[in-house]
């Protein structure tokens, strides 16, 4: 379905929790920050619990709500389906939306398996013939400092890339009494820290360097094997702790580490953990090249550290670039230099690029093909970890990945 004559892009969103709230804030803000050829209308949000989704629609700024995503997709007054659900429903919702002629934005990781991701890529390719656009939501690409990092690498400021070092560390499940939520169930989430946060650093490093991960050696660990089952959860294999508390099996990884080779010759290390005590949202990427180094730290997201080895020895050292100038990516829409932005802005920038692409009839990035590339790395990591950290080649998408 193309956009309507009123130059509106009418959005329907499935899911209203953490990511749904972040996406809602971005949809509300994007036309207020950026001059775009289409105006977003937040038509409806979807959730299974009518009382909760009604409350969410009012709180988050949606015109209405539905309790069945199929009803949302069938509506004639919806142009875009924004998928913010757990990974086990991404493929079904997305493929149905594309078949109905809707543009689709789908949260990361694209799917719970390579097979599902390939089916989504095929559906997106078929829909593209009718002008339908798709995007996978790796929002950290849209942090201005990360986008500047990519520009500097592409301009040759680091020379030949030799090392990539990436970590994403959190600590929100270190308590053994933390309940068995959907993110700890393989059938819902696909994987644990690996797919939840590891996918972000896989995508971000491939985006920044312009290189693809070609092989990995990995290990994963689940530190707490059983967790309390929330009272509203049913249908899980459970055991009793002896005090009436029901426990279920954790079926995903708590932490994943792997070494890798990249297509341009660089070697890399990756670590994703939700058991790094004291680390709340610690994403850090360091790139070392023949002419210098760059460091991005999400907890200091308005800054980029740059070491320029071409400067005289007496002047060398890491310099802080404060990424708040109007010349920096996305920042001409915001505040005077030195006035910092935050996490939520990355989603607004994502919606900005998506709306612009739909209006121009171009394909936004990261595409589903690029997201499939991340999924193939996740699969290789899991395969390597299951085989005693054996070196494992990463399969490449049938369709070339465009960074």
Place of tokens 């070196």: 391
Question: Mean of the per-residue pLDDT values for the chain?
Answer: 94
Q: How confident is the model at residue 91 (pLDDT cuts 50, 70, 90)?
A: very high
Bridge partners (DSSP) of residue 269 are 165, 259
Q: How confident is the model over 59-80, as a mean pLDDT?
A: 98
Q: Is the pLDDT of residue 330 over 80?
A: yes
Q: How confident is the model at residue 295 (pLDDT cuts 50, 70, 90)?
A: very high
What pLDDT score does 5 carry?
58
H/E segment holding residue 92: helix 90-99
pLDDT tens digits, one per residue of 4-36? 556 999 999 999 999 999 999 999 999 999 999
pTM exceeds 0.85, yes or no: yes
Q: How confident is the model over 269-294, as a mean pLDDT?
A: 98
What pLDDT score does 397 carry?
80
pLDDT tens digits, one per residue of 231-263? 764 333 445 455 557 999 999 999 999 999 999
Total residue count of the chain as it appears in this document: 403
Q: Is the pLDDT of residue 66 over 90?
A: yes
Nearest to 375 by CA among 91, 115, 82, 98: 115
Q: What is the DSSP string of 232-261?
A: T--SS-EEE-SSS-EEEE--S-SEEEEEEE
Residue 80 and residue 105 in contact, taking contact as beta carbons nearer than 8 Å: yes
Count CB neighbours of 244 within 10 A.
6
Residue 301 and residue 142 in contact, taking contact as beta carbons nearer than 8 Å: no
What pLDDT score does 230 carry?
87
Q: Is the pLDDT of residue 43 over 80?
A: yes
In 274-383 the beta strands, taken as DSSP E runs, fall at 282-289, 292-297, 303-308, 319-322
How far apart are the C-alpha atoms of 346 and 143, rounded to whole Å? 5
Q: Is the pLDDT of residue 167 over 70?
A: yes
Q: What percent of the chain has pLDDT over 70?
A: 94
Q: Is the pLDDT of residue 399 over 90?
A: no
What pLDDT score does 6 carry?
66
Nearest to 82 by CA among 3, 22, 2, 32: 22
Q: What is the dihedral of CA 147, 149, 150, 156, to 10 degrees?
A: 150
Q: How confident is the model over 329-357, as a mean pLDDT?
A: 98
- Which residues touch 373 (CB under 8 Å, ≥6 apart)? 206, 212, 396, 397, 401
**For the purposes of burial, counting CB atoms within 10 Å of the CB of 159, is it exposed (0-12), middle (13-18) or buried (19 or more)?**
middle
Q: What percent of the chain has pLDDT over 90?
A: 93
In 120-240 the beta strands, taken as DSSP E runs, fall at 134-137, 161-169, 213-221, 226-228, 238-240
How far apart are the C-alpha atoms of 313 and 198, rounded to whole Å? 37
Burial track 213-223 (b if 16+ CB lie within 10 A, e otherwise): bbbbbbbbebe
What pLDDT score does 400 carry?
45
Phi-psi region of 38 (alpha: psi -120 to 50; beta: other; left: phi over 0): beta
How far apart are the C-alpha atoms of 373 and 375, rounded to whole Å? 5
- Which residues touch 47 (CB under 8 Å, ≥6 apart)? 14, 15, 16, 53, 56, 65, 67
Q: How confident is the model over 67-72, as a mean pLDDT?
A: 98
How far apart are the C-alpha atoms of 46 and 292, rounded to whole Å? 48
Q: Is the pLDDT of residue 271 over 70?
A: yes
What pLDDT score does 359 carry?
97
Count CB neighbours of 349 within 10 A.
25
């Amino acid at each position: 379905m193309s956009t309507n004559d009123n130059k509106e892009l009418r959005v329907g969103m499935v899911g209203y929790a953490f990511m749904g709230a972040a996406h809602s804030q971005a949809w509300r803000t994007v036309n207020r920050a950026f001059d775009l050829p289409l105006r977003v209308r937040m038509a409806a949000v979807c959730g299974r619990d009518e009382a909760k989704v009604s409350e969410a629609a009012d709180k988050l700024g949606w015109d209405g709500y539905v309790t069945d995503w199929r009803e949302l997709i069938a509506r004639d007054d919806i142009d875009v389906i924004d998928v913010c659900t757990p990974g086990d429903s991404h493929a079904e919702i997305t493929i149905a939306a594309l078949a109905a002629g809707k543009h689709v934005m789908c949260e990361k990781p694209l799917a719970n398996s390579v097979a599902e991701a390939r089916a989504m890529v095929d559906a997106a390719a078929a829909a593209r013939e009718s002008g339908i656009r798709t995007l996978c939501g790796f929002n950290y690409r849209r942090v201005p400092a990360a986008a500047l990092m990519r520009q500097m690498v592409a301009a040759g400021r680091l020379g030949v890339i030799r090392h990539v070092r990436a970590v994403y560390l959190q600590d929100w499940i270190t308590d053994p009494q933390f309940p068995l939520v959907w993110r700890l169930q393989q059938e819902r989430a696909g994987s644990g820290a690996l797919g939840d946060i590891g996918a972000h650093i896989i995508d971000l490093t491939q985006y920044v360097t312009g290189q693809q991960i070609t092989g990995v050696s990995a290990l994963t660990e689940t530190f707490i094997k059983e967790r309390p089952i929330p009272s509203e959860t049913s249908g899980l294999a459970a055991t009793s702790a002896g005090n009436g508390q029901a426990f279920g099996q954790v079926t995903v990884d708590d932490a994943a580490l792997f070494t890798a080779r990249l297509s341009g010759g660089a070697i890399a290390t990756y670590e994703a953990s939700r058991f790094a005590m004291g680390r709340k949202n610690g994403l850090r990427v360091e790139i070392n090249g023949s002419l210098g180094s760059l460091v991005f730290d999400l907890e200091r997201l308005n800054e980029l550290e740059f070491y320029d080895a071409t400067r005289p020895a007496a002047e060398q050292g890491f310099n802080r670039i404060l990424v708040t100038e109007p010349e920096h990516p996305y920042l001409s829409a915001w505040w005077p230099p030195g006035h910092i932005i935050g996490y939520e802005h990355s989603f607004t920038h994502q919606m900005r690029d998506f709306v612009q692409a739909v209006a121009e009839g171009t394909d936004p990035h990261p595409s589903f093909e690029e997201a499939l590339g991340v999924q193939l790395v996740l699969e290789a990591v899991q395969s390597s970890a299951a085989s005693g950290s054996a070196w494992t080649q990463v399969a490449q998408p049938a369709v070339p990945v465009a960074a």
